[in-house]
């Protein structure tokens, strides 16, 4: 797959304990992105954060450490990202989804 020039970066901010159809939400999003032929997806785990409820989630606090913040990044063409958004809307019940323009310098599979 060739991806160069202008593209879109989709960022999804969710909690580690979020679920979709009985499986971890982050896992479900990555698997759905793969099934939809998107260029790639990466999940990042945060060590501290808060969201709409203003509740601090931190690896330092034992009682909250099971719901650390996660961020999923997906980069692809605007057309493919926008086609994925309706499905994502059904999956993410609570969280933040952002979209921004990026320039892909190099994307080469091995």
CB distance 15 to 68 below 8 Å: yes
CATH of region 5-104, choose from 3.30.70.120, 3.30.465.10, 2.40.50.220, 1.10.3720.10: 3.30.70.120
In this prediction, the residues of the chain whose per-residue pLDDT falls under 70 are 1, 53-54, 56-66, 110
**Average confidence score pLDDT of the chain:** 88
* pLDDT value of residue 58: 67
* Residue 62: C-alpha distances to residues 44, 50, 55, 59, 69 (Å): 20, 16, 14, 7, 15
Residue 89, H or E segment: helix 78-91
CB distance 76 to 38 below 8 Å: yes
- The domain spans of the chain are 5-104
Question: CA-CA distance, 102 to 99, in Å (whole number)?
Answer: 10
């Amino acid at each position: 797959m060739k991806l160069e020039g202008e593209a879109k970066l989709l960022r999804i901010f969710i909690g580690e304990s979020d679920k979709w159809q009985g499986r971890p939400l982050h896992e479900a999003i990555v698997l759905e992105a793969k099934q939809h032929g998107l260029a790639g997806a990466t999940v990042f785990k945060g060590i501290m954060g808060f969201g709409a409820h203003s509740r601090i989630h931190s690896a330092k606090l034992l009682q909250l450490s099971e719901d650390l913040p996660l961020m999923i990044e997906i980069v692809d063409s605007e057309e493919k990202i926008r086609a994925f958004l309706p499905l994502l809307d059904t999956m993410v019940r609570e969280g933040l989804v952002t979209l921004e323009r990026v320039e892909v310098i190099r994307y080469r599979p091995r």
